Amino acid sequence: MRMKRKVLIVLAAAAAMMLQVLPVSAEEAGVQAPSQEPFLTTYTVQQGDSLSAIADKMYGDRSAWKKLYKLNKDTIRDPHLIYAGQVLKLKAYRDIAFDHTWDYAGNAAITDGMARLYRSDVKLRKNKTICINAGHGTEGGADVKTLCHPDGSPKLVTGTTAAGATYATAISKGVMMATGEPEASATLRAAFFVKDELLKAGYDVLMIRESDDVQLDNIARTLIADHYADAHIALHYDSTTNDKGVFFCSVPDSESYRNMEPVSSWWQLHDMLGRCLIMGLEGEGLSKWKNGELEMDLTQTSYSTIPSVDLEIGDTVSDRSDAVLSSVARGIRAGLDLFFA
């Protein structure tokens, strides 16, 4: 374990020297960060309620009663004794809507959905907000087109959209996993593991979606992250069928693309974030594909004004057990710790 940590530290230092750039916070980069005020809501206890029943009703998880109790210890002496009319504080969060006055907002086509910003309740908070974007999951998104790049230039690398195209699918349906599970469902489950790990570690978390459908396309998701987070991680599974390992989509080595704003100001930090995340995942025992990078001019990184990556955490046949997803979550947390160190 000590050797693994030493390897991670050495690799992180090497990546920083190679890029000759240090990670910065949104504040240091001149990007408005979200308010750090508590995001609280309340619930009035009804006749017959219990903490587990309230946790199930409000969070969809009966076992979350312990967190509910911890948040309300000032008013609840015994977690088995609550009373009708009692007002409880719920997990700190607030909903985030798309703002049509933002730069590039006119390029987004599907903007009616809401993201949710959670505030960590641990004592030693990081004062960093991480956007976790569970890939896909927008009903009707595959039928809408948006500009690939903010300046209207053509796409460079073929992915879901072919090179040379100026418009791309607003948000695709994703692939089908070998088990028959839609990718959107698989990425959402992974996102919940990452969310829990990051909140526990003191990061605030901006969840782009927490259900099967959120009406936010790729541009809308990116702009919400740009304005409310310090880093943006989109979770995906690759379409291959050989359990190829983890990798991230790096910024293409193209002078014209790297000179286009906002890519010009941010591409080095996009790649630095990706490399740190791969290091963290390797530290948790996950295998990486080749060197852990695949060049791709994604809509996400084309519009990002914070460090931002598409992280492929496996492919259609990869193990998606709870144990593996826990390792993925810990690896992402370790990678973020390296990035912000």
In the chain, pLDDT over 70 holds for what percent of residues? 87
Task: Please state the separation of Cα 208 from the chain's center in Å.
Answer: 7
Q: Using the 8-state DSSP alphabet, how is residue 32 labeled?
A: P
148 and 213: one domain? yes
Say which CATH number the domain at 53 has. Answer: 3.10.350.10
**pLDDT number for residue 18:** 42
6 and 80: one domain? no
52 and 28: one domain? no
**pLDDT number for residue 37:** 43
170 and 145: one domain? yes
User: Cβ distance 217 to 171 under 8 Å?
Assistant: yes
Is residue 290 scored above 70 in pLDDT?
yes
Residues with Cβ within 8 Å of residue 105, at least 6 apart in sequence: 98, 99, 111, 223
63 and 137: one domain? no
48 and 134: one domain? no
How far apart, in whole angstroms, are the C-alpha atoms of residue 307 and residue 271? 8
How far apart, in whole angstroms, are the C-alpha atoms of residue 330 and residue 328? 6
**pLDDT number for residue 121:** 77
182 and 71: one domain? no
Indicate the residue among 24, 56, 91 that finishes a domain.
91
100 and 247: one domain? yes
170 and 77: one domain? no
How far apart, in whole angstroms, are the C-alpha atoms of residue 313 and residue 71? 33
Buried b / exposed e across 189-217, counting CB within 10 Å, b at 16+?
ebbbbbbebbbebbbbbbbbbbeeebbbb
**pLDDT number for residue 120:** 87
Helices (H), 233-318: 255-258, 263-283, 299-303
Indicate the residue among 91, 108, 133 that finishes a domain.
91
Is residue 38 scored above 80 in pLDDT?
no
71 and 177: one domain? no
Decide the pairing of beta strands 246-250 and 288-295.
parallel
Q: Could you tell me the pLDDT band of residue 257, with boundaries at 50, 70 and 90?
A: very high
User: What order do you get walking across the sheet with 308-315 strand by strand?
Assistant: 93-97, 114-118, 204-207, 129-134, 231-238, 308-315, 246-250, 288-295
Region of 21 (left: φ > 0; alpha: ψ -120 to 50; beta: rest) is: beta
Q: Could you tell me the pLDDT band of residue 89, with boundaries at 50, 70 and 90?
A: confident
Indicate the residue among 71, 91, 111 that finishes a domain.
91
Query: What tokens appear for 274 in the block?
Result: 């990706």
3-state helix, strand, coil in the chain (%, to 5): 35, 20, 45
Task: Please state the separation of Cα 302 from the chain's center in Å.
Answer: 17
Which residue range is the domain that position 180 belongs to? 2-39+92-340
**pLDDT number for residue 39:** 57
Q: Could you tell me the pLDDT band of residue 230, with boundaries at 50, 70 and 90?
A: very high
87 and 21: one domain? no
206 and 328: one domain? yes
User: Cβ distance 174 to 187 under 8 Å?
Assistant: yes
- Mean pLDDT throughout 249-254? 98
By C-alpha distance, which of 199, 211, 215 is closest to 92? 199
Q: Could you tell me the pLDDT band of residue 339, with boundaries at 50, 70 and 90?
A: very high
Say which CATH number the domain at 101 has. Answer: 3.40.630.40
Comparing 42-46, 119-123, 264-268, the range with the smallest average pLDDT is 119-123
Instruction: Tell me the pLDDT of the chain averaged across its residues.
Output: 89
- Mean pLDDT throughout 235-259? 97
**Single pTM value for the model:** 0.80
Q: How many domains does the chain have?
A: 2
- Mean pLDDT throughout 196-207? 96
